[in-house]
Chain A
Amino acid sequence: MFKAILKTQWQWTRTAVLLAAIAAFTMPLLSMNSNVPTIQPRSFISVMQTWGVGYVVLAATVGLAVAILAWSSDHRGHHVYALTLPVARWRYVLLRFGAGVVFLVPVVAALGAGALLAVTMFPIPQGLHTYPWALTARFGFAALVAFAIFFAISSATARTAGYILGAIAGVIVVQFLADAAGLHWDVVSHAVDLVLAYPGVLSVFSGRWALVDV
């Protein structure tokens, strides 16, 4: 059963996965190629950290794409295919989720290969260290978290999506009302901290993403 789900889901997802894998492989190489080993090490690190944004965006994008594509066919067919299968809904969801996780593997592996190749090919200034494994692990977990979030949203009903959007709008409305009332509450900043600061749901995306660092 899993094999069949994997096969069909691969057909919808493969283009996105292949494009993401190419981007993941080339990004570490480009980041090292854009640097000059003779420049000041601090500048070298700055360039590396600038590229860190690219890894974050790629991890979020690949998670989003794989999650949305996992459910796109079901949404288009109004879930008739799923209803015709002799499996419980929870098991069907698990199969879709598992297939999606498998499709993240090639992208993460491509990033790991690119990172290892990049640190082998390009020299770095004295005193700095390379983090190809740590970067790959972080990318993998970030892509997994992004996939899980968008998978949950995509598999949910319109009402659930409404709740999520409502919660976001609620924070903004509370901030607006607090400002209007002259209360110095920074609700939005606190909400953002709650999500991005450790152990928030998106905390894996924050912090330093650098292939080369101190």
Chain B
Amino acid sequence: MSSLGRWWLAGAAAAILIGAPRAARAQTQAEYRARVRALVPVWHEVAALKRREDSLAALTLPSDTVRSGPLVLLADSALVGFARRVAPPAAAALDRRFGHAAEILRSRPYLLSRPDSAGSPDSPISLSEVDGTGQARYVQSEPPDVNAMVWAVTHRAAAAIGASLGGDFAHWLGGDFPADTATPAMWTGVRIDLVTSPFAMARACYAGADSACALALGVAGTDDPVARWFDASERRDRVRHLTYQYRADHAGVYNACVTLGADTACAALLRLMPTADVDPPLGASARQSLLTLALDLGGPDAVTRMEAAPDDRGAQLAAAGGIPVDSLVRVWRHDVVAARSSNPSMSWGMALTSLLWVAACGALALRSSPWR
């Protein structure tokens, strides 16, 4: 190796040693916050760019409009025929379910488009919601099947109609606003939720206490949900699962609850949480089934009555169903418990049908004659 080469190698080694990184260490919270703060302007910039892009897209919305009842679908010429097949059944379903409440859809068109305008007829179709400023917000894609798109449109429209009931009701519901009537499968699912719930209030509901059902569903006891929806062990369990930050901020109360088992401490800690963050014992599917039942009982004007009712979920549900909320919960419990009969492994009808098919196949075997 030449002397120049040796000097070059020595210099490179010295540079590596001097510039060697310090030992790796985790970033502190302060550093993390600083990084987040540094990224916020970038996020704002990207969001602004996206808004500009959406505005430009809004200027190029297709002009073909398909109206059926209150439902308005926008589509380009390639999809206008598809939109004409989707709109009538979707509008009819919405009218049956929501009646006059569906009128809000007149100002909320839906856009059907293909991301790739030269795409094949089999490529998926995008469904977007168009807001008051003409901006389209992508919602979901469906295969080019009329039934699938009718389902998607009615469910998105149901969500839009349900949003008019306010954030508290939507938060309580915890899921999609029901566009369909109750089905045996829905009741079976709720029955599984009820019988397998770890909460004492749900077990009491299944055992026959209608008042416990109202509490487990969160339509009663909203004045003090922490005390009325849960027992002491459930309160302690909920406290145990609070976020680290929450526990750290209230370390003394937390320890009194979890370590010493003081129920008053558990309740006090849970009451510090926003009421909306305390979910009822029964899950979203059970609450959705209660609303579905109320809408089924109440008919097409159910949502209109809900909108006119006081801002209380019990009153809203009673208005929807046209019966007191206690009666509604009683009917709900009856339907959930009765769902067991729709879930046997065998029924007499099935047995009889099977025997008839066996006899039919036997008769076919008697008629055929391979040696004739």
Contacts and interface: CB of A to CB of B under 8 A. Distances in A.
A98 to B, nearest CB: 10
A198 B195 contact: no
B43 interface: no
A51 interface: no
A25 interface: no
Contacts of B353: 198-199, 203-204
A156 B364 contact: yes
B236 interface: no
B345 A135 contact: yes
A182 B121 contact: yes
A214 interface: yes
Contacts of B77: none
B371 A144 contact: no
Given A83-B371, A214-B188, A156 B343 contact: no
B30 interface: no
A134 B192 contact: no
Given A127-B195, A199-B353, A214-B340, A134 B345 contact: yes
Interface string B4-35: 00000000000000000000000000000000
Majority SS at the chain B contact face: helix
B196 to A, nearest CB: 3
Contacts of A128: 195-196
Contact of B371 (A79, A134, A145, A148): A79
Interface string B220-263: 00000000000000000000000000000000000000000000
Interface in B333-372: 339-340, 343-346, 349-351, 353-355, 357-358, 361-362, 364-366, 368-371
Contacts of B85: 184
A45 B192 contact: yes
A79 to B, nearest CB: 4
Interface in A107-156: 125, 127-129, 131, 134-135, 137-138, 141-142, 144-145, 148-149, 151-152, 155-156
Contacts of A83: 371
A42 B196 contact: yes
A144 B345 contact: no
Contacts, number: 114
A134 B357 contact: no
A93 interface: yes
B145 interface: yes
Given A97-B362, A204-B353, A79 B192 contact: no
Interface in B307-342: 339-340
Looking at chain B, what size class is its interface with the partner chain? 35 or more
B350 A198 contact: yes
B281 to A, nearest CB: 14
B345 A131 contact: yes
Majority SS at the chain A contact face: helix
Contacts of B345: 131, 134-135, 137-138, 207-210, 213
Nearest to B354: A141
A41 interface: yes
Interface string A60-102: 0000000000000000001100110000011001100100000
B357 A93 contact: no
A148 B346 contact: no
Contacts of B351: 137, 141
Contacts of B97: none
B365 A127 contact: no
A27 to B, nearest CB: 14
Interface residues of A, number: 48
Contact of B369 (A131, A134, A149, A157): A157
A160 B369 CA distance: 10
B344 A125 contact: no
Interface centre among A78, A141, A145, A208 (most CB of B within 10 A): A141
A152 B368 CA distance: 8
Contact of B370 (A125, A137, A151, A156): A156
Contacts of A148: 357-358, 361-362, 365
Given A138-B345, A184-B145, A157 B370 contact: yes
A187 to B, nearest CB: 14
Contact of A214 (B191, B349, B357, B369): B191
Interface string A182-214: 101010000000000011010110011110011
Given A127-B206, A208-B345, A214-B191, 16 more contacts: A45-B196, A83-B371, A89-B366, A89-B369, A94-B366, A127-B196, A128-B196, A135-B345, A137-B345, A149-B357, A152-B364, A155-B365, A155-B368, A156-B364, A157-B368, A199-B353
Interface of B: 85, 121, 145-146, 188, 191-193, 195-196, 203, 206, 339-340, 343-346, 349-351, 353-355, 357-358, 361-362, 364-366, 368-371
29 contacts: A40-B196, A45-B192, A45-B196, A79-B371, A90-B366, A93-B365, A93-B366, A125-B196, A129-B340, A131-B344, A137-B345, A138-B345, A138-B350, A141-B355, A144-B358, A148-B362, A149-B361, A151-B362, A152-B361, A152-B368, A156-B365, A157-B369, A198-B349, A199-B349, A199-B353, A204-B353, A213-B343, A213-B345, A214-B343
The 4 closest A-B pairs by CB, nearest first: A41-B196, A127-B195, A148-B361, A134-B345
